[in-house]
A and B are shown apart, each in its own frame.
Chain A
Amino acid sequence: MEKSAFFNSKLLPYLLLVPQLIITFVFFYWPASQALWQSFLREDAFGLSSEFIGLENYQALFADPQYYKAMLTTVVFSTLVAALSLSIALLFATQADKNLKAAPAYKTFMIWPYAVAPAVAGVLWIFMFQPSLGTLARPLRAMGFDWNPLLNGNHALILVVMAAVWKQISYNFLFFLAGLQSIPKSVIEAGAIDGAGPMRRFWTIVFPLLSPTTFFLLVVNIVYVFFDTFGIIDAVTGGGPAGATTTMVYKVYADGRLGGDLGGSAAQSVVLMVIVIALTAIQFRYVERKVQY
């Protein structure tokens, strides 16, 4: 798509582009290339000297069982969060799509957690489930269930998943509701005339027609779990106990900062970059009709 009417200035368009290009080069291309470069270097603890070591950082990375553990955690974490938040949001959206008088009010109530910062969401959930004082943890413990996310890795992961799902429901709800409302009522009526009940209509008509939205949300949710949940993890568990909630992104942060292993951290960044670029490529194959150039 191109405009047929345009201006013919020589210099002006470059001047208009300058602010964004400067910001992009200084804060995006320069650091990204530094990450790539650093992943081939070994730096001493004070950052005073560095030597080129080729692929050694990558070899060390892929020989490190901790890294595979972080990968596994990331996969489990993203699968749980994406599956739960998508299905819960779909359930609520289908109900809100019915002709209810109070539907707009419910919509408002459902969408605002989007605005809660991930770190704050994490703090809210650790407060509810803190083993000794949490309002919801105490009944669990009173029933004889030894709930302790501070010591038990599985409990910690469950808590982080719950907080991440809670935070993401509103986003998925909004897009599912928009998707549902764009399905023509006549198609559903035709199904009803043919004698299909509500469940049958949902699974054979509505759900297939909703699949573009579902697929779009799936990709967005995976990206969300990868990056935006950093705040939740840091607030709730700090990656612990014993690395049980350390995802790949959290490990980039933890190794670079706490461990001071900048080369290894940079190599992890590069691996993540490749994953994100692959995910984005998948997403753009799907949305290419919308983003044309």
Chain B
Amino acid sequence: MVEHRPWNDIIAYAILTLGVFIVAFPVYLALIASTHDAATVVGGNMPLSPGGRALENYYRAVFVGGSRTSREPVGHMLTNSFISAIGIAVGKIFISILSAYAVVYFRFPFRKTAFWIIFVTLMLPVEVRIYPTYKVVSDLQMLDTYAGLILPLIASATGTLLFRQFFMTVPDELLEASRIDGAGPFRFFWDTLLPLSRTTIAALFVIQFIYGWNQYLWPLLITTQDSMQTIVTGIKKMLTTTDELAEWQLAMATAVLAMLPPVAVVVFMQRLFVRGLVETEK
């Protein structure tokens, strides 16, 4: 073992505590702001301890909406966010597990071509081709629909690569054994491969849920009606003026609500999250 110096540990604890403080402070401040009334927040002398308006602020944010800015309540935005995040995660898993199965477990003409066609999508994030994609979605009459929010964002290769990588580690003997038992491609997929892939699916789900929930530019462009907004785009519209007239306590309550689901996923499914993050980057 290398030398052990007690002050070394103390320095480490000090630096890490500082790190946690830096990381947590902006969120703490948002939490505090969401418990005070508008005047306290805007006055500029907001205390660093919670106030007594938490229930009122969250109730108004979720069900009523702001009074001055006449914004919509965020309750239905939360629903939209859940639907599109889960849609993106499930959709991506569905199309990519099937295509990875085809590429790994079958031999057919144009197999490599198909793989490369999918693979190239890794290179261009949606931000780069934003307006042409918008035009396609609008031509398909998918503006202000869940399909429009979901489908363009699942056109990427990450899932396919992840499943392909995992399938390659599955021993060939399993396929031979189930063939001897008379299983065809469907039985093998359903009874053997899918149960083995459970952890990979869960890890991908966690990552894609966060990715989908946090989308901003795409939903901003293709939702024109307030009723189709997601919470991440809705919060910005509360502050469009960025002046003192914005109802900061409601905006901060909305920010807390917008952070809660993805942060909960990371904290409570940390193992899957880390696994998914590390493996999708390979």
- Chain A residues with a Cβ under 8 A of chain B: 1, 3-10, 12-14, 16-17, 19-21, 23-24, 26-32, 34-35, 38, 88, 91-92, 95-96, 98, 100, 102, 106, 108-121, 123-128, 130, 132-135, 138, 150, 166, 169-171, 174-175, 178, 188-189, 192, 198, 201, 216, 220, 223, 227, 230-231, 234-235, 249, 252-253, 256-257, 262, 265-266, 269, 272-273, 276-277, 280, 287, 290-291, 293
Given contacts A34-B135, A189-B2, contact A3 B105 (CB under 8 A): yes
In the complex, which residue of chain A has the Cβ closest to the Cβ of B106?
A: A13
Contact between A6 and B107 (Cβ–Cβ < 8 Å)?
Answer: yes
Q: Complex formed: what's the CA distance from A252 to B124 in Å?
A: 14
CB < 8 Å neighbour of A16 from B99, B115, B129: B99
Contact between B128 and A120 (Cβ–Cβ < 8 Å)?
Answer: no
Give the shortest distance, in Å, between A111 (CB) and chain B (any CB). 6
Q: Complex formed: what's the CA distance from A38 to B130 in Å?
A: 13
In the complex, which residue of chain A has the Cβ closest to the Cβ of B111?
A: A13
Contact between B242 and A126 (Cβ–Cβ < 8 Å)?
Answer: yes
CB < 8 Å neighbour of B98 from A19, A227, A256: A19
Contact between A12 and B124 (Cβ–Cβ < 8 Å)?
Answer: no
Contact between A123 and B16 (Cβ–Cβ < 8 Å)?
Answer: no
Contact between A28 and B128 (Cβ–Cβ < 8 Å)?
Answer: no
Subset of 30 A-B contacts with CB under 8 Å: A1-B168, A6-B175, A7-B105, A9-B106, A10-B108, A21-B99, A21-B118, A23-B155, A26-B136, A27-B151, A28-B121, A34-B129, A95-B16, A96-B16, A98-B9, A100-B13, A102-B13, A115-B259, A115-B266, A119-B235, A119-B236, A120-B258, A120-B259, A127-B33, A133-B44, A135-B46, A170-B23, A174-B274, A227-B128, A231-B232
Give the shortest distance, in Å, between B193 (CB) and chain A (any CB). 12
Mark contacts of B69-107 with chain A using CB atoms, 8 A cut-off: 1 yes-contact digit, 0 otherwise.
000000000000000000000000011101101111111
Most B CB within 10 A of own CB, among A108, A133, A231: A133
Q: Complex formed: what's the CA distance from A188 to B3 in Å?
A: 11
Contact between B128 and A17 (Cβ–Cβ < 8 Å)?
Answer: no
CB < 8 Å neighbour of B128 from A115, A257, A269: A269
Residues of B within 8 A of A287 (CB): 282
Q: Complex formed: what's the CA distance from A100 to B133 in Å?
A: 49
Residues of B within 8 A of A35 (CB): 128-129, 131-132
CB < 8 Å neighbour of A192 from B3, B122, B130: B3
Contact between A31 and B133 (Cβ–Cβ < 8 Å)?
Answer: yes
Residue B125 at the chain A interface, CB threshold 8 Å: yes
Residue B27 at the chain A interface, CB threshold 8 Å: yes
Residues of B within 8 A of A115 (CB): 210, 214, 259, 262-263, 265-266
Residues of B within 8 A of A123 (CB): 235-236, 239, 251, 255
Contact size range, B: 35 or more
Most B CB within 10 A of own CB, among A115, A127, A175, A234: A115
A-B pair count, CB < 8 Å, reads: 307
Q: Complex formed: what's the CA distance from A186 to B48 in Å?
A: 47
CB < 8 Å neighbour of A106 from B16, B160, B270: B16
Residues of A within 8 A of B24 (CB): 109
Residues of B within 8 A of A92 (CB): 15-16, 19
In the complex, which residue of chain B has the Cβ closest to the Cβ of A47?
A: B135
Residues of A within 8 A of B220 (CB): 234
CB < 8 Å neighbour of B233 from A12, A119, A138: A119
Residue B277 at the chain A interface, CB threshold 8 Å: yes
Residues of B within 8 A of A1 (CB): 168
In the complex, which residue of chain A has the Cβ closest to the Cβ of B217?
A: A230
Contact between B114 and A17 (Cβ–Cβ < 8 Å)?
Answer: yes
Q: Complex formed: what's the CA distance from A116 to B19 in Å?
A: 17
CB < 8 Å neighbour of A132 from B44, B104, B179: B44
Give the shortest distance, in Å, between A271 (CB) and chain B (any CB). 10
